Structure 1
Amino acid sequence: MFRHSIRTLVVGLCALTAASQGATAMALAVPAGQYQATPATAPALRSQTLSDLATAMKGEAFAYASYSLFAAEADRQGHAAVGELFRGTAQTELNEHLRQAAALAGTVGSNAANLREAISGETYEHQVMYRDFAAQARADGDLDAAELFTEIAADEGRHRDAFRTALTAVTTGRGSIPAPPTADVVPVPAGPPKVKAARTRANLDTALHGEALAHARYLLFAAHARQTGNTALARLFEGTAGVELHEHFAGEAVLAGLVSTTKPNLRKAIAGEHEEATVRYPEFAERATAVGDTAAARYFRDTAADEAKHMTAFRQALDRLR
């Protein structure tokens, strides 16, 4: 199987452990503060604002997952302070920025609604996205990527089936919530891309962002399930989130060459934070202000300011390594 062959290419352990995931799940259960909004009380946001919030969530989820891997690499290289900087920034991206965007967008619904959303996403990935990616990678000669995409497609089918069973239990009271899956953790060391085709690289980028977002959304759904007293459903969402991150995202990260050594990782982080601080979030804030979505505009402005601080901290860390 691909997951076993990939271990011959890598050493060390991924820093994204199940224990840290559990801590994240509890952190995500905290109310979203000044940006808290629910479908019942919040005015409807314009479609462009909702689209911008969705883009923000995807970017913040990807930053969390990437920075966590960068932290592990910094630790392996003996740069403990940089590792702590990456970890702290990752937590801000997930537990503040993404959570606040999700609150504004009304991402979390009832347990049944959350399960239907999960089923829809897993069905698409199982039946369409990963099958297409596998066929394209095979045609382009990227056989490791084709094998990984095929395995992930099968995993997503199992996730869909488990969520369908859970939905029946939640809506009818018949049956029980399935046991959560266990992630087969894939180590992610520094290394170059292991695919050759531009199309495979683009598909890996799409997949990485999708898996990071699925991880974050499922933690939000898990937090809601716990708040409503459904601990079995919370465990199912948390376990699935772990597979999306520690297995799927990590396996794709190895093939994509996502992690470099610490100095290039810092440069990549600086470039990303600069774009968010100076272009993306200011544009989102301007659009939200123009249509009267004031809470969203404030969120975008505040997040831009945070990203500018992150950029400065990463630059200072890079300067200390020179």
Structure 2
Amino acid sequence: MFRHSIRTLLVGVCALAVASQTGPALALAAPAGAPAQARAARAVGAQTLADLNTAMKGEAFAHASYNLYGTQADREGHPSAGRLFRSTARTELNEHLREAAALAGVVGTNAANLRQAVNGETYEHQVMYRGFAAQARQDGDMKAAELFTEIAADEGRHRDAFRTALTVVTTGHGTVPAPPQANEVAVPAGLPQVHAARTRANLDTAMHGEALAYAKYTLFAAHARQTGNTALARLWEGTAAVELHEHFAGEAVLAGLVRSTRENLRKAITGERAEATTVYPGFARQAAAAGDTAAASFFRGTAADEARHAAAFQAALNRLR
């Protein structure tokens, strides 16, 4: 999670809290008209809420990255390492991120979820990706400029679909748009295909955002199904697939995210240890000091899990030698 780029996680929280996203079957009861994040802000302190958002971004990124690392391990003939990466990815998404999302009040009504997504997609379409594309062109990273431009257009289409769905949900008239189809991108091991430090940083920010979008949209899809809106659930699920398998994957190729299994294990160990010894214990202390006892307990438990993950990855690395 934070393992790959703690700095970018912290930088990207504001950009992505706004952005559209989903994850598995987490359904939080939400009174009509009460935005979940606003209720969470009343339930926990501002710093705790910020730390929960940072945690979600890290867990989502770990889930997306570890699945790619698992595929690379399979390619190299290391099936046990592949299984370890994938099982850890499931824990990061289905346990850690979902628990943090519940504490942060991420999931609200279908209308509130759509408004959150519209805001995020609008920011990515109009500001973030267009800005990243312009900077990449200035720095001579034309592949990145082209990808950022394509994704900006996609996010505009996502925004428009969510706006239409919001009208359907709030008025009861019309049809929820059909889900988009992801053009899945394979991510082989390789070095970065960009040269500018600014482009690399922007790719990292973008990947964290797309990973979080996938996680949140999956959560929103589960809520839509639980409320009987299967058409909306399909829209969330299809958009989530685009964010992960097309956008995140395309950015991962340019960023050189995936390396050899040995390198991927070392990177995972470093990140898991940082979370276990520094990041989550620090969050727990801050939450406890603010009186946010449930969040403090979550952070402490997650720190313990990450220590176990680090040990498991270290054992897997030892077996490769």
Q: What is the TM-score when the length of structure 1 is the normalising length? A: 0.88
Q: Match of 2:122, as an amino acid?
A: T
Deviation at 1:183, TM superposition (A): 0.4
Counterpart position of 1:148: 147
CA distance, structure 2, for counterparts of residue 231 and residue 255 of structure 1 = 35
**2:272–2:307 contact (8 Å) kept in structure 1:** yes
Q: Match of 1:152, as an amino acid?
A: I
Deviation at 1:44, TM superposition (A): 1.1
Counterpart position of 1:5: none
Deviation at 1:29, TM superposition (A): 1.4
Counterpart position of 2:117: 118
Counterpart position of 2:50: 51
Q: Does 1:83 align with 2:82?
A: yes
Share of identical aligned residues, percent? 73
Q: Match of 2:25, as an amino acid?
A: A
Residues 30-109 of structure 1 correspond to what in structure 2 (within 5 A)? Answer: 44-109=43-108
Deviation at 1:31, TM superposition (A): 6.4
Give the 3 Å change call, closer, same or farther, for CA 122–40 of structure 1 in structure 2: closer
Give the 3 Å change call, closer, same or farther, for CA 259–41 of structure 1 in structure 2: closer
Deviation at 1:30, TM superposition (A): 5.4
Q: Match of 1:271, as an amino acid?
A: T
Runs of at least 4 residues off by over 4 Å: 38-43
Q: Does 1:194 align with 2:193?
A: yes
CA distance, structure 1, for counterparts of residue 40 and residue 59 of structure 2 = 25
CA distance, structure 2, for counterparts of residue 124 and residue 91 of structure 1 = 29
SS across alignment from 2:184: coil
Counterpart position of 2:206: 207
Q: Does 1:29 align with 2:25?
A: yes
Deviation at 1:41, TM superposition (A): 10
Q: Match of 1:175, as an amino acid?
A: G
Deviation at 1:173, TM superposition (A): 1.1
Counterpart position of 2:225: 226
Count matched residues: 292
Q: Match of 1:157, as an amino acid?
A: G
CA distance, structure 1, for counterparts of residue 43 and residue 120 of structure 2 = 24
CA distance, structure 2, for counterparts of residue 137 and residue 96 of structure 1 = 36
Q: Match of 1:309, as an amino acid?
A: R
Give the 3 Å change call, closer, same or farther, for CA 30–154 of structure 1 in structure 2: closer
Gaps of 5+ in 2: 1-21, 29-35
Deviation at 1:40, TM superposition (A): 7.2
CA distance, structure 2, for counterparts of residue 257 and residue 43 of structure 1 = 41
Q: Does 1:136 align with 2:107?
A: no
Deviation at 1:318, TM superposition (A): 0.1
Counterpart position of 1:4: none
**2:39–2:105 contact (8 Å) kept in structure 1:** no
Give the 3 Å change call, closer, same or farther, for CA 276–229 of structure 1 in structure 2: same
Counterpart position of 2:161: 162
Give the 3 Å change call, closer, same or farther, for CA 251–191 of structure 1 in structure 2: same
CA distance, structure 1, for counterparts of residue 206 and residue 61 of structure 2 = 11
Query: For each residue in 1:92-135, what CA deviation from the matched residue of structure 2 results, as whole angstroms up to 9, or x when unmatched?
Result: 00000000000001000000000000000000000000000000
Q: What is the TM-score when the length of structure 2 is the normalising length? A: 0.89
Q: Match of 2:59, as an amino acid?
A: E
Q: Does 1:285 align with 2:287?
A: no
Deviation at 1:174, TM superposition (A): 1.5
Q: Match of 2:54, as an amino acid?
A: T
Give the 3 Å change call, closer, same or farther, for CA 116–41 of structure 1 in structure 2: closer
CA distance, structure 1, for counterparts of residue 43 and residue 256 of structure 2 = 41
Give the 3 Å change call, closer, same or farther, for CA 53–173 of structure 1 in structure 2: same
Query: For each residue in 1:110-161, what CA deviation from the matched residue of structure 2 results, as whole angstroms up to 9, or x when unmatched?
Result: 0000000000000000000000000000010000000000000000000000
Counterpart position of 1:311: 310
Counterpart position of 1:15: none
CA distance, structure 2, for counterparts of residue 192 and residue 203 of structure 1 = 16
Query: For each residue in 1:161-206, what CA deviation from the matched residue of structure 2 results, as whole angstroms up to 9, or x when unmatched?
Result: 0000000000001111000001000000000000000000000000
SS across alignment from 2:77: coil
CA distance, structure 2, for counterparts of residue 228 and residue 288 of structure 1 = 33
CA distance, structure 1, for counterparts of residue 156 and residue 222 of structure 2 = 23
Q: Does 1:240 align with 2:236?
A: no
CA distance, structure 2, for counterparts of residue 57 and residue 41 of structure 1 = 15
Gaps of 5+ in 1: 1-23, 33-37
Give the 3 Å change call, closer, same or farther, for CA 132–40 of structure 1 in structure 2: closer
Q: Match of 2:182, as an amino acid?
A: A
**2:69–2:82 contact (8 Å) kept in structure 1:** yes
